[in-house]
Structure 1
Amino acid sequence: MTEQKQVIPEGYKQTEVGVIPIDWKAAALGDIAEVRMCKRILSWQTQKTGAIPFFKIGTFGSQPDAYIPTQLYDEFKAKYSYPNEGDILISAAGTLGKSVIYDGKPAYFQDSNIVWLEVDKKSLLNEYLFHYYKIIKWASSEGSTIARLYNGIIRASLITLPSVKEQTAIANALSDVDALISELEKLIAKKQAIKTATMQQLLTGKTRLPEFALREDGTPKGYKQSELGEIPEDWEVAPLRDFIKIRHGRNQKAVESPDGKYPIFATGGQIGTANSFLYDKPSVLIGRKGTIDKPRYTEEPFWTVDTLFYSEVSKTADAKFMFYKVCMIDWMQYSEASGVPSLNASTIESVLAVFPERDEQIAIATVLSDIDKEIKTLQQRLNKTRQIKQGMMQELLTGKTRLVKPEVTA
């Protein structure tokens, strides 16, 4: 049997990194850049507070937990290698190749674990390199227990090199999508903060919806004292058992089926499907063991395993309201195990909370559900945009799609 020969499209060529445009190059990073790192900082030279943050591999890209004195920073920055603003810092241990654009602010970085490339800007732009790191195939993966990018691996790794003009166009296009992703992430975070604040106000009665804020004579409703503090005059304190009955999940082995139509839930989420259901009405699911602080809500028939409680909701309560209500409870304080967090049914049912009448419960749940729908829509848009970005990188960084008209060579 003969192997089918790969057909190279016109205007392209075969290289060590695959098929690329004929006017592009494939180069080893070591041929166009030098690996740099900061001077080693010893543990006794760091402190828990200070002026100059010291980033280790565990805090790279997040918040520092160590600092170095300004005098030491000034001395090492003057004597040894130090990144310039815009250089791309990468992790050489842990999560390999995690990249951060250095913003130029005073900081110091753990030697050998966090490195950067001093690039020849006539051949390679940092802006292009930042995006290429997302798809780069490292020359090898040496090390046993802790994965590490040794300098030799970085130098030997290959990169595709279009002209600087085309690198700029590619980097700009991908950065525009990154900016959109960042804005969507900020908007989602803002919506989630609004939801949290709204829950705090509506679920405690501190803020009343307009249709429930006035008495029959038109005067504003007031508040009264209770064992849980000040609550609306027409709300009541009651244990959860007055509105929900906690039921145990069951082993799923007998009903589990890859073709099942009913979801099987565990504390971490759906783990499979079943050919029969345990309960078929709206229900609040609460962890019995393990993840006990992340209640779930479902309206469709389902099965829960033995580490996840489900609930039967009273006709005097709205199931979705009860879900939001139990989300406000700090379940970890009720854990009854010193190791793996655990709850029992009687503990859950005995927790006191404040409740309005069912019609107000429904109205509150509707407001919160509408916010959830907005967040879900934004999250779907974010996921789609991330997928588009992945596709763009595969197209633009390999030259399959060109943003600059290829130069015609004589």
Structure 2
Amino acid sequence: MRTKLKYVVDIVNGATPSTAEPDYWDGSIEWATPDDLGKLTDKYIFHTTRKITDAGLANCGASLSPKGSILLSTRAPIGHIAISQIPICCNQGCRILKPTSHIETSYMYYCLSDSKACLNALGQGSTFVELSRERLAAMQINLPPIEEQKAIVSFLDRETSRIDALIQKKERLIELLKEKRIALITQAVTKGLDPNVPMKDSGIEWLGEVPEHWEVKKFVYACVLQRGFDLPSESFVEGEYPVMGSNGIIGYHNVYTTLAPNVTVGRSGSVGKVNLITSNFWAHNTSLFVLDGKSNCMKWIYYLLLSIDMDSVSEGSAVPTLNRNYIHRMMIAIPPRTEQIAVSDMLDSYLFNIDDTIGKLETSITLLREYRSSLINAAVTGKIDLREAL
């Protein structure tokens, strides 16, 4: 049986107390936003980033909903979903759905999870897209008998928990591999490949001992970085040359500014993102590029930049920006060019295997998430018959 949401849930709008009234804020009432819902890793919400007072609740038009209510973000973006484990209210970017006796809360949660594409398609607006209360109320879902809903929930709770545990293990393994990756790079570019070479104190706390024959100098003596060139997106002319922005290729142009091989570093936006480029390109103003490599191996410069903690040389909080002068002043250890090449070749070999493993894990996670979604869809649309589990 199909039914409209308005027949199985009560829909409650959210609101925001005046931010000009301090007495409305920092109380004990949980006040959810789309951002709160977007940060969740499971289906339950236990607390919110901000809380309001009784006075704030009374003067903003929101209302407190009981534990077991469903929160749905209906703008910026549409489709974040959670089940409250505490009494809760929300801002105008969310709506609260209070299930009636005709529907199981978790069954409603899974139905909405399966309907994210539909929810987004129902959104309207030019400045920002929002799902209206009326359109939400008119959306239809499958409504089997309550006992069958419970069987579906039991099945999906069990199976999705198993899938989520597998995904979590794979994500943790990726984290460990990425930590190993940066550790290998840092060890190679600061200590070299020969563990028996005579060492000396660099005089730099974070650098420690370095090979005795390496030169300890400011970064600028090994490499000069330069800000890229302005090129609004509407000025792109279709061509063969990649435009390298802060996070990599952002388009193509018919003119290049910089010869390959070269390295770019995200200057604003994706601050600190390091890219090695092997074809001529346009260096965009959101990135830094190597203006002068001082005859050093460009691949070694790439690995050297990867080893640097870019957060320590960025500035600004709202919109972080990478200041090249901070990088230029950093003290580094510079090996002879022959060792730079050897270090780069070794890292290429070691990191290929790590990156290959990470890629396979990421593919596996994507497939597991797709399977999870298809399982929910099959259960709430009746493609899997769970009546035998009753």
Give me the TM-score of the superposition, normalised by structure 2: 0.67
Post-superposition offset of 1:140: 5.1
1:16 aligns to what?
A: none
The separation in 2 between residues aligned to 1:190 and 1:128, in whole angstroms, is: 32
Provide closer, same or farther for how the CA distance between residues 339 and 273 of structure 1 changes in structure 2, counting only shifts above 3 A: closer
SS at match of 1:97: strand
1:167 aligns to what?
A: 152
2:210 aligns to what?
A: 232
Contact 2:5 2:140 in 1 (8 A): yes
Q: Quick check: 1:380 aligned with 2:376?
A: no
Q: Quick check: 1:294 aligned with 2:254?
A: no
2:250 aligns to what?
A: 271
Give a deviation string over 1:22-56, Cα, whole Å, max 9, x none: xxx221011223335799977645555x7765434
Give me the TM-score of the superposition, normalised by structure 1: 0.64
Contact 2:217 2:334 in 1 (8 A): yes
The separation in 1 between residues aligned to 2:15 and 2:328, in whole angstroms, is: 58
1:342-353 to 2 correspondences below 5 Å:
351-353=330-332
CA RMSD of aligned residues (A): 4.9
SS at match of 1:293: coil
Specify which structure has the higher proportion of helix. 2
Contact 2:65 2:98 in 1 (8 A): no
Q: Quick check: 1:283 aligned with 2:267?
A: no
Post-superposition offset of 1:115: 0.9
Contact 1:39 1:81 in 2 (8 A): no
SS at match of 2:116: coil
2:238 aligns to what?
A: 257
Deviates further, 296-305 or 326-335: 326-335
2:32 aligns to what?
A: 55
The separation in 1 between residues aligned to 2:3 and 2:66, in whole angstroms, is: 25
2:88 aligns to what?
A: 108
SS at match of 2:7: helix
Provide closer, same or farther for how the CA distance between residues 130 and 341 of structure 1 changes in structure 2, counting only shifts above 3 A: same
SS at match of 1:81: coil
Amino acid in the other structure paired with 1:100: A
Provide closer, same or farther for how the CA distance between residues 56 and 314 of structure 1 changes in structure 2, counting only shifts above 3 A: same
Contact 1:264 1:273 in 2 (8 A): yes
1:192 aligns to what?
A: 178
1:335-374 to 2 correspondences below 5 Å:
341=321, 351-356=330-335, 357-358=339-340, 359-360=342-343, 362-363=345-346, 367=350, 370-374=353-357
Provide closer, same or farther for how the CA distance between residues 89 and 176 of structure 1 changes in structure 2, counting only shifts above 3 A: farther
The separation in 2 between residues aligned to 1:339 and 1:88, in whole angstroms, is: 34
Contact 2:264 2:289 in 1 (8 A): yes
Contact 2:210 2:333 in 1 (8 A): no
1:95 aligns to what?
A: 77
Amino acid in the other structure paired with 1:188: I
The separation in 1 between residues aligned to 2:329 and 2:320, in whole angstroms, is: 21
Deviates further, 31-40 or 322-331: 31-40
2:65 aligns to what?
A: 81
The separation in 1 between residues aligned to 2:227 and 2:137, in whole angstroms, is: 57
Identity among equivalent pairs (%): 17
Contact 1:177 1:385 in 2 (8 A): yes
Give a deviation string over 1:95-115, Cα, whole Å, max 9, x none: 23310233x3x5633266341
The separation in 2 between residues aligned to 1:251 and 1:144, in whole angstroms, is: 29
The separation in 2 between residues aligned to 1:394 and 1:291, in whole angstroms, is: 37
SS at match of 2:10: strand
2:99 aligns to what?
A: 118
Task: From 118, 130, 134, give the equivalent of 2:116.
Answer: 134
1:20 aligns to what?
A: none
Post-superposition offset of 1:90: 1.4
Contact 2:261 2:280 in 1 (8 A): no
Post-superposition offset of 1:303: 0.9
Q: How many residues align?
A: 357
2:60 aligns to what?
A: none
1:403 aligns to what?
A: 384
The separation in 1 between residues aligned to 2:343 and 2:265, in whole angstroms, is: 24
2:43 aligns to what?
A: none
Amino acid in the other structure paired with 1:285: T
Post-superposition offset of 1:243: 3.5
SS at match of 1:380: helix
The separation in 1 between residues aligned to 2:294 and 2:368, in whole angstroms, is: 42
Post-superposition offset of 1:155: 2.3
SS at match of 2:385: coil
Q: Quick check: 1:304 aligned with 2:285?
A: no
Post-superposition offset of 1:237: 1.6
1:155 aligns to what?
A: 137
